[in-house]
Amino acid sequence: PRSTRPEHSGDVTVAGVSLAETAGRFGTPVYVLDEEEVRERCRTYRTAFPEADVVYAAKAFLCRAMVHWAQEEGMGLDVCSAGELMLAVTTGFPPEKIVLHGNAKSPEDLSTAVRLGVGRIVVDSASEIARLAAIVPHGSRQQVMLRVVPGIAAGGHVKVRTGTEDQKFGLSITDGSAQHAVARVLGQPRLELVGLHCHIGSQITTVKPYVAAVRRMVGLMARIREQHGVELPQLNIGGGHGIAYRPGEESLDVPQLAARVRAELRDGCAKVKLPVPRLTIEPGRAVVGPAGICVYRVLAVKRTGSQTFVAVDGGMSDNPRPALYGVRYAPRLIGRHSTAEPRLVTVVGRHCEAGDILAEEVPLPEDVHPGDLLAVPVAGAYHLSMASGYNLVGRPPVVAVKDGTARTLVRRESLDDMNRRDVGL
């Protein structure tokens, strides 16, 4: 896929649209999404995994247009709440291509999923089995998968590692919970166990842990056949594919992932004489992350004894990732050309705490001043979907750019929007 990374100061265009003009027209902060880049990323997955269900993890970024693009590009959808599910289905996404996740699904999540006819529900705990079975109407069957902990440590930050026993997701193989759950689902006439699921973590940049996970899962599938005489037809290995946030960083090689996973699945299944299950993958970040750019306006520049702080008009309410995970971004000056010497600055947000730091040690021209525009590349995933209403600063809009034109997908959150739910004294 093309890079939407602004390479130079001066006027930067994405999909033929000037970022500076977009900032002027839509205001700042603004999230700009390159539609064709998103679509190309979907196609990269579909081409690399023609035999698999490629399911976009909506938690990375969701709006009606994104639902529509995923559908047009032949993807399924992974949702983890009734909210995400309703947005998708009311946009016209086929429910049978939706997978529902969640370690603690609410009664509303489960009943909405069953009522709308969601394709697969990924069961994450023993107690969920009976709860789910109880709401499936008489005479019908809900397809389910079981989320299993494969016992593999991988992922860019401890907060996004989900393949080991010391976290809240999935059923353990080691203590027998997974095997127990298999027996319980098989004992429920209204549930149809179609396969196993695992998601080992997020922002993973090497293929190896995926291969190891496939091996563990095939092993478990073989044991399930021994114990219960069933050959599960599907295997979902989750998402978690890492991307480069700054120049020079690694990203996961998707075609290589496909080749190695395919080989492991084929050989592993051949060894234990299991039919090769249909594969599902669930990429989120790698589909939208690199296709998004956030443009901020500088509001203040402060030089202290040792540091220069460049403060912008957004911050941890639209991008909580640096504060949460210590992620490092590479903001650039855009909209004007500067010949001033670069100096290392700290780019901070407008929120009322010292930890509201967007990026540290950023080389910006010495003459950076209020009114300047800063672009933060690779801002498409887990920014707006994790945005908050902190300090009652409205959430930025999402603008799609394509073929030289820009259009609003999600408008800016106004003061009115924010205060509407406050019903008074």
Report, as residue numbers or ranges, the catalytic residues: 352
> Binding string to ligand LLP for residues 162 to 201, with x set by CB under 6 A, is what?
-------------------------------------x--
Q: At what angle do helices 208-228 and 177-186 cross, to 10 degrees?
A: 50
Assess 290 for contact with ligand LLP (CB under 6 A): no
* Secondary structure of 20-66 in HEC code, one letter for each residue: HHHHHHHCCCEEEEEHHHHHHHHHHHHHHCCCCEEEEEHHHCCCHHH
- Closer to ligand LLP by Cβ: residue 81 or 202: 202
Q: Does 120 bind ligand LLP (CB under 6 A)?
A: no
Work out whether 402 is an interface residue with ligand LLP (CB under 6 A).
no
What is the rounded CA–CA span in Å between residue 145 and residue 69? 26
Per-position x/- string for 75-114, each x denoting binding to ligand LLP as judged by CB under 6 A, each - no binding: ---x----------------------x-------------
Contacting ligand LLP (CB under 6 A), which of 283, 290, 377, 394? Answer: 283
Strands in 366-413 per DSSP E: 373-377, 398-402, 405-410
- Per DSSP bridges, beta strands 308-312 and 332-334 are unpaired
CA nearest to 73, candidates 53, 99, 100: 53
What does the alpha-carbon distance between residue 191 and residue 322 come to, in Å, rounded to a whole number? Answer: 42
Say whether residue 209 binds ligand LLP (CB under 6 A): no
| 225 annotated as ligand-binding | no
Interaction mask 328-367, ligand LLP, x per CB under 6 A: ----------------------------------------
SS3 assignment, position 163: coil
209 marked as part of a ligand binding site: no
Residue 150 binds ligand LLP (CB under 6 A): no
Closer Cβ to ligand LLP, 101 or 350, answer by number: 101
- According to the annotation, is 246 in a ligand binding site? no
Q: CA neighbours within 13 Å on the CB side: how many for 56?
A: 32
Enumerate the β-bridge partners of residue 136: none
Do 261 and 210 meet the contact criterion of CB atoms below 8 Å apart? yes
From the list 123-131, 221-229, 237-245, 305-313, the region that binds ligand LLP by CB under 6 A is 237-245
Say how far apart CA 298 and CA 29 lie, in whole Å. Answer: 10
Q: Is 27 left (phi over 0), alpha (psi -120 to 50) or beta?
A: left
260 has binding-site annotation: no
In this complex, which beta carbon is closest to ligand LLP, that of residue 218 or of residue 252? 252
Which of 160/191 has CB closer to ligand LLP? Answer: 160
Interface with ligand LLP (CB under 6 A), residue from 97, 216, 285, 332: 285
Instruction: Tell me whether residue 283 is annotated as binding.
Output: yes
60/110 with CB nearer ligand LLP: 60
DSSP 414: P
Residue 329 marked ligand-binding: no
Element (H, E) at 322: helix 321-325
345-363 burial by CB neighbour count: b if 16+ within 10 A, else e? bbbbbbbeeeebbbbeebe
Please give the structure tokens belonging to residue 118.
């969601």
Q: Which residues fall in the annotated binding site for pyridoxal 5'-phosphate?
A: 240, 282-285, 382
- Binding residues for ligand LLP, per CB under 6 A? 57, 59-60, 78, 101, 160, 199, 202-203, 238-241, 282-286, 321, 325, 382, 386
Q: Which residues fall in the annotated binding site?
A: 240, 282-285, 321, 325, 353, 382
Q: Which residues fall in the annotated binding site for substrate?
A: 285, 321, 325, 353, 382
